[in-house]
Amino acid sequence: MKDASSKPDIGASYRQSKRELFVMIGAWVVTGLWVLGYNSQAAYGAETEGPVKMLFGLPRWTVIGWLLPLLLANAFTIWFCLRFMQDEPMEELPEDE
Amino acid sequence: MTVTEFILASSAGNAALISFALYMVVVFVLAGLANREQSGKSFLNEYFLGSRNLGMWAFAFTYAATSASGGSFMGFPSLIYTHGWVMALWIGGYIIVPLVAIGLIAKRLNQVARKSGSITVPELLRKRLGSDTVGTVATVLLVFFQFFFLLAQFKAGAKIMTTLLGDVAVYQSAVALVDQFTAPIPWVGAAEADYLLCLLVFAVSVVAYTAWGGFRAVVWTDMMQGVIMGLGVVILLGLALTQVGDLGKATEELSRQVPPRDGNATLIRAESAEPKTLAKGVWLELPAEEKRQPFIRLTQPVTFQAGQSAVTNVSVLEVRTSLQNERELKAIRAQITESDINATALSVKGYDYGDDKPGVYVSAPGPKAGSATGFLPIMLAISFFCFWPFAGAAQPSYMARQMAFKDIPTLRHSIIFVALYFSLIYFPLIIIFTCGRVLLPGWEMDADRVMPEMATFLTSEAGVPWLAGLLVAAPFAAVMSSVDSFLLLVSGSVVRDVYQRKNPTASEAQMKKVTYWTTVGVGALAMLAMLNPPQFLQDLIVFGSGGLGASFLMPVILALYWPKLTPRATVAGMLSGGGTMALFYLIGYLLNGKFSAYELLSLHPFIWSVLVSALVMMAVARGSKPVDADLVEKYFGEQNAR
């Protein structure tokens, strides 16, 4: 990670922020495909299946289509914040502040 | 009184009053300390952004607490209770909200705000694009949509207090006094006296401590409120799981439930010379059917006059419980107190989707009274998956916090904290309130009150009624932490972006005076507007947050990441986004006769609004005068300015 105490390079900071933006949007897309893709079948078909299918006492689709992606999304968030997101030197405040 | 005496002697009501009073004392102490911190610092920078030095705990808690508003602790439980497990899909976007909603713009926003010396979002847009018009349009849209959000929180705060203090003798006397005083006043008298009193107390307290302590008080109280919310959910989850016994059995009972039916009935009693009043919520048992046991619940008080044996046209809710649902049957029968009253001439209407259909509470799209396609058709689920992360990213109240953290490590650690915090709040809430359908049936009659009712019920059943005070403080804390932030945001916009622009030489003393009075004025207006509130809290919240998201998402993202954005395109983007949102709600109102969104192709208006905003901005930017090259270089660097 960069030295947070050095002078800010606004251009480099902007480009790095843009890279991080694309990775975050990618993570959102993958999560969406999983949650909505899986549940479009599992949750929307659950009512016609007869007795409710369960896992850990919860409807099965909520565990596979919600809880599991939540755990993985949290793991990804931790990796992203600790490994991928770069520290940047903070801008000085203007004189009138 | 010692703690032991307090615990032993108190009823749920008195304990709630004491817990509430203690809580308010702490809030005001924090506000006082924050007020002392203001001395010797730039008033506006300290009052609205806490001098931009929020550390990890402060930033993370204030973000999480502001986000988990009255919607999370009142509207959301009410929706879970009414529609069941499909709410997991409704809130599916929250799986990734902390990363996207904070990470998307926080780093750039903080840097650009520092570089420009901006305190508010309209100010940031104005300075980034070098246009006063951009700032003015942003201020108008922010105040308009944020005000709707504020209104919903005022209603939630008052509703929680009515339940919290319902059993307290002093409170009941005060309610009777308010009723006597306000009943003859037109419009004001139409509101229920208990709601009116609580609305007044809530509004005065929150406005007072916000105005007194400013942003730092809001952040400090948010931290305390965040802890209370987290603790509240964990305790509620423990109590709900203990009392339901076996989560699997509760889910099975839920899967056999069918939605209730609304309608009316005639109530009959044996001849009697005594008058008799049945309170709202009274249960009556009807003759059993082959597989179900029907009950009715009164949704309004009913009075038999002396000698009167029948009352016609009584509003009721019919709940048809499966004979296999032992826990639910037991819960209802335990509440039946009237055995000499019978109901006849029952005329009820079922939900348009889910009537007499077991399984609807454990599957999608979930039951719904007013729609044949259910609560959450798949297209709407897709909409909400987009809505929560992106509308969340574009909320000016969150942006204000993103301008205030002190450095990037604070941001990185806060995102992780918020992700874990939200995971411990939202999924447990769904478990708690789906269990609530089994433990506390029949609350569809006033679903917005299910959270405090559950807290009171669970703690009483567990033999710890004094704990209700802490549990109900959780949603109350959630509401307060949102209201104080929104108040500050609206007053900040008015003071910084309107008053100071017109009076650039105003002294610090004048600015202080204007700031305090603006905060008080905004709070008073919100209170007046909420004297007769609409039924569903969540509709107002979604409109307010959706409107803000639609107005600011694309303009702010492009202002931060696209050097070629022009002032004219920004104005067009804000107006077309916010305007499209308002238009869809207007169409919804005209079609449905109530405050609701028109969902073109089953997509939430937020999606259409953001699409329209993005397309309009791209088109207008191509044909309008580019922004000053110096400004681009200032915010994007020399290399990117070319």
Asked if B245 reaches chain A (Cβ–Cβ under 8 Å), the answer is no
In this predicted structure, the answer to whether residue B209 has a pLDDT above a threshold of 70 is yes
Residue B375 confidence (pLDDT): 93
Write down the pLDDT at residue B543. 83
pLDDT reported for residue B6: 40
| B residues 338-357 closer than 8 Å to A (CB) | 357
For residues B296 and B42, the model is more confident at: B296
**Which pLDDT band, with edges at 50, 70 and 90, does B1 fall under?**
very low
pLDDT of residue B611: 95
pLDDT digits (tens, 9 = 90+) for B459-480: 888 887 777 777 777 667 777 7
Give residues 436 to 475 of B whose Cβ lies within 8 Å of A: none
The H or E element containing residue B295 is strand B292-298
Q: Is B381 on the interface with A (CB under 8 A)?
A: yes
Would you say how long chain B is, in residues?
642
Confidence at residue B2, expressed as pLDDT on a 0 to 100 scale: 42
Asked if A91 lies within 8 A of B108 by C-beta distance, the reply is: no
Q: For residue B220, how many other CB atoms are within 10 A of its CB?
A: 23
Q: What is the mean pLDDT of chain B?
A: 85
* Dist CA B354 CA B640 (whole Å): 56
Q: Which residues of A touch B565 (CB under 8 A)?
A: none
pLDDT at A45: 83
Whether A87 sits inside 8 A of B52 (CB atoms) is no
Question: What distance in Å separates the CA atoms of residue B502 and residue B303, rounded to the nearest whole number?
Answer: 60
Residue B349 φ then ψ, to 5°: -125, 135
Whether pLDDT at A97 is above 50: no
> Quick one: pLDDT at residue B361?
94
Mutant choice from B53, B362, B421 vs A, greatest count of A C-beta within 10 A: B362
Cβ-proximal residues to A72 (8 Å cutoff; 6+ apart), any chain: none
For testing contact with chain A, the best of B96, B116, B422 (most A CBs within 10 A): B96
**Distant-in-sequence, close-in-space partners of B562: CB < 8 Å, separation ≥ 6:** none
**Burial status of residue A95 (CB atoms within 10 A of its CB: 0-12, 13-18, 19 or more):** exposed
Interface probe for A, chosen from B45, B59, B107 (most Cβ of A below 10 Å), is: B107
Cα B382 from Cα B90, distance rounded (Å): 9
Q: Between residues 32 and 61 of chain A, which touch chain B (CB distance below 8 Å)?
A: 32, 35-36, 39-40, 43-49, 51-52, 54, 56-59, 61
Average pLDDT, chain A: 85
Question: Which of A1, A81, A83, A92 best probes binding to B when mutated, by most B CB atoms within 10 angstroms?
Answer: A81
The alpha-carbon gap from A57 to the nearest alpha carbon of chain B, in Å, equals 4
Asked which of B252-261, B279-288, B309-318, B589-598 is least confident by mean pLDDT, the reply is B589-598
Q: Is residue B428 very low, low, confident or very high in pLDDT (cuts 50, 70, 90)?
A: very high
Q: Extract the tokens encoding B530.
A: 């909420």
Nearest CB to B416; choose among A36, A52, A78: A78
Q: What is the DSSP string of B517-565?
A: HHHHHHHHHHHHHTSS--S-HHHHHHHHHHHHHHHHHHHHHHHHH-TT-
Smallest Cα distance from A38 to chain B, Å:
11
Query: What confidence tier does B8 reach under pLDDT thresholds 50, 70, 90?
Result: very low
Residue B429 identity (one-letter amino acid): L
User: ipTM, 2 decimals?
Assistant: 0.90
Is B642 in CB contact (< 8 Å) with chain A? no
The model's confidence at residue B567, banded by pLDDT at 50, 70 and 90, is very high
Residue among B131, B8, B292, B154 nearest B631 (CA): B131
Reply yes or no on whether the pLDDT at B313 is more than 70.
Answer: yes
How big is the CA angle at B511 (ends B507 and B513), to the nearest 5 degrees? 115
Nearest by CB to residue A35, choosing from B45, B92, B100, is: B92
pLDDT > 90 fraction of chain B, expressed in percent and rounded: 33
Does B557 have pLDDT greater than 90? Answer: yes
Q: What is the pLDDT of residue B536?
A: 60
Using CB atoms, pick whichever of B111, B411, B419 lies closest to residue A74. B419
Q: Is the pTM of this model over 0.95?
A: no
Q: Tell me which amino acid residue B631 is.
A: L
Residue B159 pLDDT greater than 90, yes or no: no
Give mean pLDDT, residues B339-366. 90
Q: Which region among A49-58, B211-220, B472-481 has the lowest average model confidence (pLDDT)?
A: B472-481
pLDDT attached to residue A12: 86
Counted across chains A and B, CB pairs separated by less than 8 A come out at 187
Residue B365: cis peptide before it, omega within 30 degrees of 0: yes
Interchain pair B107, A20: CB under 8 A: yes
Tell me the pLDDT band of B230, cut-offs 50, 70 and 90.
confident
Please list every residue in chain B whose beta carbon sits closer than 8 Å to the beta carbon of residue A86. Answer: 408
Q: What is residue B178's predicted lDDT score, i.e. its pLDDT?
A: 86
CB atoms closer than 10 angstroms to residue B604 = 23
Residue type, B225: Q
Grouping H, G, I as helix, E, B as strand and the rest as coil, residue B236 is helix
Residue A57 pLDDT grade (very low, low, confident, very high; cuts 50, 70, 90): very high
Q: Residue B596 pLDDT > 60, yes or no?
A: yes
